[in-house]
Amino acid sequence: MTTTIAPFEDIASWERALYAFLAEKERRSGSRRTVEGYSRMLQHFFGALGKPPDQITSREVFAYAHGVGPSGKEPSAVTIGARMACVSSFYRFLIRMEIVSSNPCDQLERPKVSPSPPRGLSAKEIKRLLAVIPEKPAGLRDRAIVLTLTLTGRRRSEVMNLKADDISQTGGLLYTYRGKGGKQAKRELPRPAFEAIERALAAWGKSLATMDQHESLWPTDDPDRSAAGLGVTSGTFYGNLRRYFRKAGLPPAGVHILRHSAAKLRRDVGESVEDVSRFLDHSSLAVTTVYLRRLEGQEDRSWARVAEAIGV
């Protein structure tokens, strides 16, 4: 990544600060996609102004956040908010590192956004989705990913980053994942997801017993990634999922809808809101009910009913 923040004497120190900020952001969020988005926005912002961070004014941040983008369209409230959040997050990092003393975003008012209500798929819609995924190696892999997302309720990065040694069959069928903030937790792996993973790996000539412990659970036909022990990219899976949605006659959606679906299906089979919140690791609940959460090897009492509902 080439960074050109501003043509001034101590540019190297600002570059190091930016790299450190992005590295921390990736470690805490677990999402390479988020980091790439932040990198693009910050490079565009500072590159266009040609000024170092300690010389930026609130007015300049406002002009950037509300400015017309490459599409030529006025930015939406969501875009404005995202731009402000990105710049503000970088400045908070610089303040913590004692590089700057103030955040120019503090004087700006964030736009009010009315988020659309989350939408989850019903059990019948999940069945339709699974029915159109081809019985080929790539399809079996994608099916295993869909089932793992739906039955565990984990975020996309938490599932896509799973490796062979994240699955344990000692003392129960468990999987280890790395959540937001880099926190590691362990939970029961629903049997249908495990069986789908084993079947997919077998289609690629692999097995958990013989794989390298750091090898991805999700094989790819990209020779370079495969040789490095890496799996299918999140972008490739997303593209495949969109095609499956179209083939199943379902509205277009992103991978996150499977997390919403996991919550919806849990409620449909009788789980309480509190149980679903704990299942999803919602941070708002974690703050107030840490003592109720036992993530290490936590038993999952509802996946069987959800699996029955979606026919797996």
| 44 labelled catalytic | no
| 214 labelled catalytic | no
Alpha-carbon distance 285 to 278, whole Å? 7
Q: Which of 32, 44, 51, 180 is catalytic?
A: 180
The sign one gets for the Cα dihedral 146, 148, 154, 159 is: negative
User: Helices H, strands E: what count in the chain?
Assistant: 14, 3
DSSP letter at 283?
H
The sign one gets for the Cα dihedral 277, 283, 289, 290 is: positive
| 244 labelled catalytic | no
Helix (H) or strand (E) holding 176: strand 174-178
Alpha-carbon distance 208 to 206, whole Å? 7
Q: How many CB atoms lie within 10 A of CB 217?
A: 26
- Give Cα 24 to chain centroid, integer Å: 15
Q: Which of 170, 173, 162, 139 is nearest to 247 (CA)?
A: 139
| 96 labelled catalytic | no
Tokens of residue 16, six digits: 């190091």
Q: Which of 143, 154, 155, 266 is catalytic?
A: 155
Q: Which of 16, 27, 246, 256 is catalytic?
A: 256
Q: Which of 124, 282, 294, 301 is catalytic?
A: 282
Tokens of residue 119, six digits: 């939408």
Contacts of 293 (CB under 8 A, 6+ apart): 278, 286
Alpha-carbon distance 115 to 232, whole Å? 31
Alpha-carbon distance 181 to 229, whole Å? 24
Q: How many CB atoms lie within 10 A of CB 55?
A: 13
Q: Which of 259, 260, 264, 278 is catalytic?
A: 259
Please say whether the beta carbons of 194 and 215 come within 8 A: no
Residues labelled catalytic: 155, 180, 256, 259, 282, 291
